[in-house]
Amino acid sequence: MKGSVNLLESASKQMITNEARQCWDEMQSMDNIVVTAHRSPDGDAVGSLLGLLNHLREAGLNAMGILPDRFPSFLSWMPGLEHVLIHDESPQAANALLMNADAIWCLDFNGPSRTGKMETTLRNAPAKKWVVDHHQNPEEFADRLFSNPDCGSTCELIFDLILGWGQLDELSLNAAKCLYTGIMTDTGSFRYASVTEHTHLILAHFLNKGLSQAEIHEWVFDQQSLNRVRLQAYAISSRLRVWMDKGVGMIGLTKDDLERFGYQAGDTEGIVNSILAIEGVKLAIFAKESEGRIKMSLRSVGEINVRDLASKYFNGGGHIHAAGGVFESNSMEVLVSYIEESIIGQSH
């Protein structure tokens, strides 16, 4: 039997380096620090942003958060959101913050294009750019890149960063709640293969600090609007197609479907995983009409690499088992034909 692992020894090595420590030292003489994350932010994006932001502000640093667009309402309980600007809603103020920043932490994304309309300002900002991320193939735009595609969440990497700074005692319960949330949502509540002993050591540390995991699960999963629950049920009962012999399942929601259930950001989260829960389905495709195009979300189990499928067919990318992209049409029928000709036509 292997011996028990230690929190520091099992941490992601790239987070425990002199280079990572230098970020902390350099921040001490900085006037303006910005922490940002990707557009359509999920639990890991908002969790890592707020985990780091709370920690920096509690240490007396002048740090602000910027999200490209609004976070889903099931994350609105998270501490520190009052220090986060939404770029879509106040572009001038957000752009001014970016252009005046001394350092910009770029969390949970592997290239500036993942920040949508914020991309140009992010590229042009003279600040030092420090990336912490777990997506494959990071683009070379950062002054410092802390990337570990084997890690289950960016929140885990932020925990390791703070661990490497020697500041676990200073990590507050508020910051811990944010980091816990991202680890939870990016690992399907700690079930994916990316979860390690180290992940559980982090969770143990949080619980030891007094974090109530039952509360967080309830806030994230059990506060859904009636519309959202109805939309998710409708998606499964009326919009699911399965090519059982190919092990492929797909749900496509049109603009009309979304409007019928008063769609809010985050309402379709999790639908793609419920497709994968069907016995025999190895590839799940979720499609959602948005602004004249169709946004694609792909999940797989086993050998199927959805990052490759997303980049080949939907101009996208992501992880091996979770990826996304775009289909340049607003017709679900056209999309279904395209999928049948391309992906379904192939043998998996």
* Site of interaction with Mn ion (CB under 5 A): 44, 108, 154, 186
* Residue with the two structure tokens 């991309």: 119
Least spacing, CB of residue 107 vs Mn ion, in Å: 9
Between residues 15 and 248, which has the closer beta carbon with respect to Mn ion? Answer: 15
Query: Do 36 and 107 meet the contact criterion of CB atoms below 8 Å apart?
Result: yes
CB of residue 155 vs Mn ion: minimum separation in angstroms? 8
* 252, 287 Cβ separation under 8 angstroms: yes
Name the residue nearer to Mn ion (CB basis): 27 or 155: 155
Q: How far is the CB of 12 from Mn ion (least distance, A)?
A: 14
Q: 198 or 246, CB closer to Mn ion?
A: 198
Q: Rounded distance, CA 214 to CA 270, Å?
A: 19
Neighbour tally for 101: CB within 10 Å? 24
| In the complex, residue closest to Mn ion by CB | 44
Q: Which one, 186 or 289, has the nearer CB to Mn ion?
A: 186
Least spacing, CB of residue 135 vs Mn ion, in Å? 7
Is the distance from CB of 146 to CB of 131 less than 8 angstroms?
Answer: yes
Which residues have CB under 8 Å from 187's CB, separation 6+? 152, 153, 194, 195, 199
| Shortest distance (Å) from residue 154 CB to Mn ion | 5
Nearer to Mn ion, 44 or 257 (CB): 44
Residue 196 and residue 156 in contact, taking contact as beta carbons nearer than 8 Å: no
What size, in residues, is the chain?
A: 348
**Identity of the amino acid at 220:** V
